[in-house]
Structure 1
Amino acid sequence: MDRSFARRRLLTTAAVLGGAAVLGGTAGGTAQAAGEPGPAQFPLPHGFQPEGIAIGTTPFAYFGSLANGDIYRASLATGRGRVISKGLGAGHPTVGLKTDPRGRLFLAGGVSGELRTVDVRSGETEKVYAVGGRFVNDVIVTPRSAWFTDSYQAQLYRLALGEHGEPGAVTPLPLTGDWEQGPDFTANGIELTPDASALLVVNTVAGGGGLMRVDPRTGVARAVDLGSSRLPYGDGLLLLGRTLYAVQQQLNQIDVFRLNASGTKGTAIARITDPRFRIPTTVAAWGDRLYLPNARFDVEPTPDTEYDVVAVDQV
């Protein structure tokens, strides 16, 4: 697979109270599961080519297909699932995705340069925004905004949300300050700081790979102090309290950091590895577990390629 595509790959959600306001709240993905946990590994359809994962307030996980943009929903209790939304076809992948409490999915469209929303109940695509992005990569949904990264351009996209979560207009937010845009995939996963005052964005180039703290009002980015830790293959991010999980896809590991409240500094506290990892890309939480789709970027995808999801314990 093309190296730039393999590098690309950056969960649960929280809240930005408007593009020029403070961030706060949470929008699912960290709810506690009731009863016994389900399977710790389960299959996805052959040839699906998963990348993103989203878990909302019920024990179901949603996965997007790089092949054609389909959305697959799986029960975390049984591991069984089905395609609930047909994508727009080849050239319109679903990369990162998130769900809100109102039953809407927000999809990053990768090379299509699109942002899309899907009604979970009907499976219908509600809106398609052609923002001209070169690779719309990942997304985080908050009460008043959905924020998307672009891996090839130094900017974020803010999709405004109305009082009842209805999508509105899209505006770009240029990234300045310490942001360093490389010739390859640069921006990847996106999250919030623990105090919800800013955005955290993976930058796989600056300083050998790390995190940037981005002011949502101005776009000014400042490097997060991670000590000697680096994220050259940083992908999906997940913040639970002050614990940040950062998936390093091609390294088959999750690096775990304890952040300060403002998100300006992180201390490495653990590293999760598992022999079942086959280039996991993104991560979401349910109960005491983390769930990750194996993207298998080390093999050429075919209609018969096997894909699966693995669960590991949280730190």
Structure 2
Amino acid sequence: MHGSLARRRLLVGGAALAAAAALPPLAGVARAAGTPRLSGGPAPTRFALPDGFRPEGIAIGRAPYAYFGSLAGGEVYRASLRTGQGRVVSAGLGPDHPTAGLKTDDRGRLYLAGAASRELRVVDLRSGAVTRTYPVGSAGTFVNDVVVTPDAAWFTDSYKAQLYRLAIGRGGEPGEVSTLPLSGDWVQGPDFTANGISRTPDGRALIVADTVADGGLLMRVDPRTGTATRVDTGSLRLPYADGLLLLGRVLYVVQQAVNRVDVIRLDAAGMRGTPIAVITDPRFRIPTTAAAWGDRLYLPNARFDTPPTPETEYDVVSVPAVH
């Protein structure tokens, strides 16, 4: 997700473009083409979000609906992937309570990363109510992204070398929060560091984007000890890694400021990864995260290079997944 204002300026400046050009060529290039079909007819490959919404995270559950969190006021917006139409389904708590990453579970809940509010929040999708709020971290904490596993929701902190674990009980109820310090190969920079998070293909560990270590790496994190081990992806570096999306053994890494998605095939343990493709699209305007429905990826354009106003336009684009 996004970082400090200084980092934002860097991301959209000449240094970012130079870094993109310096990234190594990958095995294949996938570009947006065609129109997906859901039952009922063709589905849009681009649709608008409310003006001024400031999207960052996206989540898609078992039905063809996407959920988006707002950095402006923390609202959650739900859009139909069949039509592109949507509405706010959870009112935000105000400008001091933004929503960055978010994920669904299988029991009608959304888990929200509260960015600079230092909050983990849980939303009941039936009512739209925020049912639980957990303050975490300390001054300077930025709760960025989240992944849901069978027994916990894990959150990254972009300014602290630690993860937050929100326990999930056998009945699906959220429980207590604990903090897991990161060690091993983890490198914490003076600024924005941790970003997206996913599970390993075998489900035994976590993958976290470290945008500082050796020019930008993926780290495999032991959820019991916090020990981080760099994922061997050869010469590939991911200095602008944002959201992570794992489908089977294929990991999609959204590199927001350079408008690309790097596609990596991981081994089961998440120790090694082979870059297999790059997804680009002229409609990308600093996409931050990705979610999947069928054979399509959906990415919200955060437009961090554009000063946010109540009239600023935001949208979502869809591109084919890589198989």
User: What TM-score does the superposition give when structure 1 sets the normalisation length?
Assistant: 0.90
Q: 1:197 Cα shift?
A: 1.2
Runs of 4+ in 1 over 6 A off after TM superposition: none
Residue 213 of structure 2: which of 195, 203, 206 is its match?
206
Amino acid of the structure 1 residue aligned with 2:128: G
Tell me which residue corresponds to 1:41.
46
**Aligned with 1:58: secondary structure?**
coil
Indicate yes or no: 2:244 matched with 1:237. Answer: yes
What CA distance in whole angstroms lies between the structure 2 residues aligned with 1:197 and 1:164? 21
**1:156-214 deviation line (CA, Å, top 9, x unaligned):** 00000111110100000000000000011100000011111110000000010010000
Residue in 2 that maps onto 1:174: 181
> In the alignment, which residue of structure 2 is the partner of 1:145?
152
CA distance in 1, matches of 2:121, 2:40: 34
Q: Report the Cα distance in structure 1 between the residues aligned to 2:10 and 2:98, rounded to whole angstroms.
A: 16
Query: Partners of 2:9 and 2:77 in 1: how far apart?
Result: 22
In the TM superposition, what is the alpha-carbon distance from 1:243 to its structure 2 partner? 0.7
SS of the residue corresponding to residue 250 of structure 1 reads helix
Structure 2 segments unaligned to the other structure (5+ residues): 12-36
**Is 1:7–1:233's contact at 8 Å kept on the other side of the alignment?**
no
SS at match of 2:177: strand
Maintained 8 Å contact 1:7/1:185: no
Could you say what the CA RMSD is over the residues aligned between the two structures, in angstroms?
1.5
1:165 aligns with 2:172: yes
Distance 2:83 2:282 in 1: 22
Tell me, what secondary structure is at the counterpart of 2:7?
helix
Q: Is 2:296 the partner of 1:289?
A: yes
Q: Does 1:84 align with 2:89?
A: yes
C-alpha distance in structure 2 between counterparts of 1:7 and 1:104, whole Å: 36
Q: 1:120 maps to what in 2? A: 125
The corresponding residue for 1:256 is 263
The SS at the match of 2:96 is coil
What is the match of residue 64 of structure 2? 59
Which residue in 2 is equivalent to 1:310? 317
Post-superposition Cα deviations, 1:218-260, rounded to whole Å, max 9, x if no partner, equal 0000000110111100001011111110000000000001111
CA positional deviation for 1:132: 2.7
- Relative to structure 1, the CA distance from residue 227 to residue 136 in structure 2 (aligned partners, 3 Å threshold; closer, same or farther) is same
Q: State the match for 1:70 in structure 2.
A: 75
Q: Which of 135, 142, 146 matches 1:135?
A: 142
Checking the alignment, whether the CA contact within 8 Å between 1:53 and 1:283 is kept in structure 2 is yes
- Assess, with a 3 A threshold, how the Cα gap between structure 1 residues 123 and 178 changes in structure 2: closer, same or farther: same
**Are the counterparts in 2 of residues 108 and 115 from structure 1 also a CA contact under 8 Å?**
yes
Alignment correspondent of 2:17: none
Q: Alpha-carbon deviation of 1:4?
A: 3.1
CA contact (8 A) 1:40 1:312 kept: yes
Aligned AA (1:79) = G
Contact 1:150 1:156 in 2 (8 A): yes
**Unaligned segments of structure 1, at least 5 residues:** 9-31
Contact 1:180 1:206 in 2 (8 A): yes
Q: Residue 35 of structure 1: CA displacement?
A: 5.8
Cα gap change, 1:183 to 1:45, in 2 (>3 Å): same
Contact 2:71 2:99 in 1 (8 A): yes
State the one-letter code of the partner of 2:120: L
Deviation by residue 1:70-111 (Cα, 9 ceiling, x = unmatched): 000000000000001111101210000001111100000000
Residue identity opposite 1:278 in structure 2: R
Q: Which amino acid aligns with 1:255?
A: D
